[in-house]
């Protein structure tokens, strides 16, 4: 390690750590019993620390040298160090270390200078807002069960109906959004863990919410105020005929013990919610009722007319005959389709068998061809060898003929005659 690198403080040197080249005590040093003067900036931790191989502890160039027993070597060194000005602290140079990992975070947006300080707004329910009590929850569930609110208009009706309860109880009215939010919270309450029991209000809210969902799925969207369906006729009810008029419908509400004044008023001035399938309008005109009655009588007489009955029977028989004809044709076509499918399957199986047999025959022919080709190659090799031997023996003269005879390679007659003439 280089001399400029950082060195941690080491314990006091011992003789085992000191090399032989370390400077020895000066012969002029005289131990004194009096304490030496010490500068104010010199502390006990400044002396006696550092490496024995450095000129001064903690990289102080003007520090006095120490002996093995921890005392300075000479009095001159001590005086020079004590009277010297306060040394500047030299920052040790550390070795190169890897850069520390910095956790980068997105800086928060700072407000411009001079802008007013915004107060931190707390989330959740504001302070001082009252909670729902059991009587209020029961009243709310009663009206929700009676009205089945779907959309903002339905919750406005529930809020209007709850107005009398709030007035009688002397409490501050709530908004439609507050009622809707509370009902949604109760209807979506999760099932308690373990063997917990569900409160009655929560169970009832879930049942009411299920009924509202069924109304939505069936299409009962409470659109009676805007008659847009052409198939629904307006039934006029004359005001002079109270017996024929339908009775007003009131929401079924259970009795509240101890709160008799909470029952809604049944006076004629109160608004009555009438919920029915057909639209009811008041009108003094009775001509439409007479026309409907005459139409009904005509339909009944036509239904019991023999000629009309015979005509209906004839049309029914014709329709049945035509239907039976179509059914028979469909049956015959299905039978033909099944036959064709069977034939197609049979032909496909025969085709597969033929292809398999041809493939097997082709493999056998290929094997036979390979065997014949091998025999032909062997025969050709033998003939070539015999021709070469015969040619070689012909060049050797009588000795070759003798060898050829012994090897059953007798040359032809022409070759033999030519050799004898030679």
pLDDT digits (tens, 9 = 90+) for 254-312: 444 444 444 444 444 444 444 444 444 444 455 677 788 888 888 887 788 888 888 88
pLDDT at residue 275 in the model: 43
pLDDT at residue 331 in the model: 94
Beta bridge partners of 321: none
Considering the chain, what percentage of its residues have pLDDT values greater than 90? 29
What is the signed CA dihedral for 235, 152, 250, 262, rounded to 10 degrees? -160
Beta bridge partners of 366: none
pLDDT at residue 83 in the model: 73
Please say if the pLDDT value at position 1 is more than 50.
no
Residues 82, 29 contacting (CB under 8 angstroms): no
pLDDT at residue 295 in the model: 86
Helix axes 306-395, 413-421, angle to 10 degrees: 20
Residues 181, 163 contacting (CB under 8 angstroms): no
pLDDT at residue 220 in the model: 57
pLDDT at residue 370 in the model: 94
pLDDT digits (tens, 9 = 90+) for 122-169: 555 666 667 888 999 999 999 999 989 988 888 999 999 999 999 998
Closest among 173, 107, 188, 105 to 140, alpha carbons compared: 173
pLDDT at residue 306 in the model: 86
pLDDT at residue 334 in the model: 94
pLDDT at residue 227 in the model: 45
Indicate the range of 14-18, 73-77, 107-111, 208-212 predicted with least confidence.
14-18
Beta bridge partners of 280: 235
Q: Mark out the alpha helices in 84-228 (DSSP H runs).
A: 134-147, 152-169, 176-187, 200-218
pLDDT at residue 405 in the model: 72
DSSP states along 49-104? -S-TTSSSGGG-TTPPPB-TTSSBS-HHHHHHHHHSPPPPPPPPPPPP-PPPPP--
pLDDT, average across residues 190-205: 86
As a whole number, the mean pLDDT across the chain is 70
Considering the chain, what percentage of its residues have pLDDT values greater than 70? 49
Helix axes 398-406, 413-421, angle to 10 degrees: 150
Helix axes 176-187, 152-169, angle to 10 degrees: 100
Closest among 173, 171, 170, 169 to 158, alpha carbons compared: 173
Residues 69, 55 contacting (CB under 8 angstroms): no
E strands, 166-283, in order: 235-237, 280-282
- Separation of alpha carbons 312 and 306, rounded Å: 10
Please say if the pLDDT value at position 320 is more than 80.
yes
Q: Could you tell me if residue 124 is left (phi over 0), alpha (psi between -120 and 50 degrees) or otherwise beta?
A: left
- Separation of alpha carbons 192 and 211, rounded Å: 22
Angle at alpha carbon of residue 142, lines to 136 and 144, rounded to 5°: 100
Please say if the pLDDT value at position 388 is more than 80.
yes
Quote the tokens at residue 229.
Answer: 């369906």
- Separation of alpha carbons 323 and 329, rounded Å: 10
Phi, psi of 126 (to 5 degrees): -70, 155
Phi, psi of 66 (to 5 degrees): -115, 150
Give the residue extent of every domain in the chain: 1-91, 134-225+237-282
Closest among 197, 218, 199, 219 to 207, alpha carbons compared: 199
Cβ neighbourhood burial of 90 (10 Å; 0-12, 13-18, 19+): exposed
Please say if the pLDDT value at position 237 is more than 70.
no
**Which of the four pLDDT bands, split at 50, 70 and 90, describes residue 332?**
very high
Tell me the three state secondary structure of residue 99. coil
pLDDT at residue 42 in the model: 47
Residues 168, 240 contacting (CB under 8 angstroms): no
pLDDT at residue 343 in the model: 94
Q: In whole angstroms, what separates CA 155 from the centre of its chain?
A: 35
pLDDT, average across residues 332-353: 94
Tell me the three state secondary structure of residue 62. coil
Sequence-distant (≥ 6) Cβ neighbours of residue 246 within 8 angstroms: 237, 274, 276, 280
Please say if the pLDDT value at position 232 is more than 90.
no
Residue whose tokens read 């080249």: 21
pLDDT digits (tens, 9 = 90+) for 45-77: 444 444 444 444 444 444 555 555 555 556 677
């Amino acid at each position: 390690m280089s001399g400029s690198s950082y060195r941690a403080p080491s314990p006091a040197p011992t003789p085992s750590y000191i090399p032989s080249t370390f400077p020895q005590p000066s012969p002029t040093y005289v131990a004194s019993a009096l304490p030496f003067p010490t500068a104010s900036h010199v502390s006990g931790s400044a002396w006696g620390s550092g490496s024995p191989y450095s000129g001064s502890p903690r990289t102080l160039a003007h520090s006095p040298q120490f002996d093995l027993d921890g005392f300075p070597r000479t009095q001159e060194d001590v005086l020079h160090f004590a009277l010297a000005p306060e040394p500047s602290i030299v920052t040790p140079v550390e070795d190169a270390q890897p850069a520390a990992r910095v956790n980068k975070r997105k800086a928060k947006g700072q407000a411009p200078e001079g802008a007013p300080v915004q107060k931190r707004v707390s989330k959740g329910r504001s302070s001082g807002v009252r909670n729902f009590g059991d009587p209020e929850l029961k009243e709310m569930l009663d009206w929700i069960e009676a009205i089945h609110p779907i959309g903002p208009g339905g919750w406005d009706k529930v809020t209007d109906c709850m107005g009398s309860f709030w007035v009688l109880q002397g409490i501050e009215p709530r908004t439609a959004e507050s009622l809707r939010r509370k009902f949604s919270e109760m209807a979506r309450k999760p099932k308690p863990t373990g063997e917990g029991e569900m409160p009655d209000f929560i169970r009832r809210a879930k049942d009411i919410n299920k009924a509202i969902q069924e109304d939505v799925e069936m299409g009962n969207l409470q659109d009676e105020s805007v008659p847009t369906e052409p198939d629904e006729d307006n039934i006029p009810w004359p005001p002079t005929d109270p017996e024929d008029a339908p009775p007003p419908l009131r929401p079924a509400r259970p009795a509240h013990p101890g709160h008799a004044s909470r029952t809604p008023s049944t006076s004629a001035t109160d608004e009555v919610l009438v919920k029915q399938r057909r639209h009811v309008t008041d009108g003094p005109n009775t001509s439409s009722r007479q026309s409907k009655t005459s139409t009904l009588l005509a339909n009944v007489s036509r239904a019991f007319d023999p000629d009309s009955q015979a005509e209906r029977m004839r049309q029914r028989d014709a329709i049945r005959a035509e239907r039976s004809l179509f059914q028979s044709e469909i049956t015959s076509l299905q039978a033909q389709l099944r036959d064709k499918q069977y034939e197609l399957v049979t032909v496909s199986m025969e085709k597969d068998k033929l292809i398999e047999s041809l493939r097997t025959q082709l493999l056998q022919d290929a094997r036979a061809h390979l065997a014949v080709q091998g025999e032909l190659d062997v025969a050709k090799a033998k003939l070539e060898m015999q021709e070469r031997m015969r040619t070689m023996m012909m060049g050797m003269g009588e000795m070759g003929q003798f060898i050829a005879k012994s090897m059953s390679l007798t040359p032809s007659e022409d070759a033999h005659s030519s050799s004898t003439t030679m």
